[in-house]
Amino acid sequence: MDLAENSLKTRLQAGEVLTGIWLSSASSLMAELAGRAGFDWCLIDGEHSPQSLPDMFPLLQALAATPTPAVVRIPAAEDWMVKQALDLGAHAVLVPLVHDADTARRMASAMRYPPDGHRGMGAAMARASGFGAVTSYVHQANRNACLIVQAESRAALDNIDEIAAIPGVDGVFIGPADLSADLGFVGQPEHPLVDAAIDHIIARTKAAGKFAGILTFNPDRIAKYRDMGVEFLGVGGDVAIMGKALRALALQAKG
């Protein structure tokens, strides 16, 4: 049995703008709901939410019952976290806090089996291979590997050309909140100087032939980021959306 093509990676590399949502609630029910809502991808967040890699398993199962591919953001740039996210069946892995080319290179290698990388051989036990049912998995997985590294610091801004040039880095994702804080504008992710930095990262990423990503919780920024050339466009999060709706309802109910 052959491994199915990673359509998320293919579409992003073709320049399509794909919109998605952050899943931080650690709820498989919310994951299935989001997966059936019409987004192009859903991201299970392991950095800023109460879910470890094993906790993500039921969310990945829930998303598998929907048309929507699953992206996993691991908590840190650790090889073993990449390995587990891939074995669990993530269509793409987002790595936070990638400040330099050396880290990007190590993550690209961790995403791939030898001879292209150093991903550990355990496919027969992995959900990604259908627990061994996809017998060609280890020979075909490298072509599907989709690595997105997160540029969210002054160092990443300074090193963006070297980061984006690394073979095996498929996309660069900008974290506006952390980037703005590191640039001296805490709590101001829409500051004009932050926008200028974002625009620079997007331009250099696309010049390297890679796709660019970003997340916003402000609906008024969606069109702006699309116009700036973002292809992997996060447009909200389950916890933020639910919290806003609940607060509005509570206020309305009190008159």
Would you please indicate which residues are annotated as catalytic (active-site) residues? 48
Extract the tokens encoding 118.
């150093």
> Using CA atoms, how far apart are residues 49 and 24, in angstroms rounded to an integer?
5
Which residue carries 């080319």 as its tokens?
101
At 211, phi and psi to the nearest 5? -90, 155
> Using CA atoms, how far apart are residues 63 and 49, in angstroms rounded to an integer?
18
> Using CA atoms, how far apart are residues 76 and 170, in angstroms rounded to an integer?
18
CB 117 within 8 A of CB 143: no
Three-state secondary-structure class, residue 101: helix
Measured CA angle at 36 (ends 33, 37), to 5 deg: 85
Q: Is the peptide bond prior to 115 cis by the omega test (within 30 degrees of 0)?
A: yes
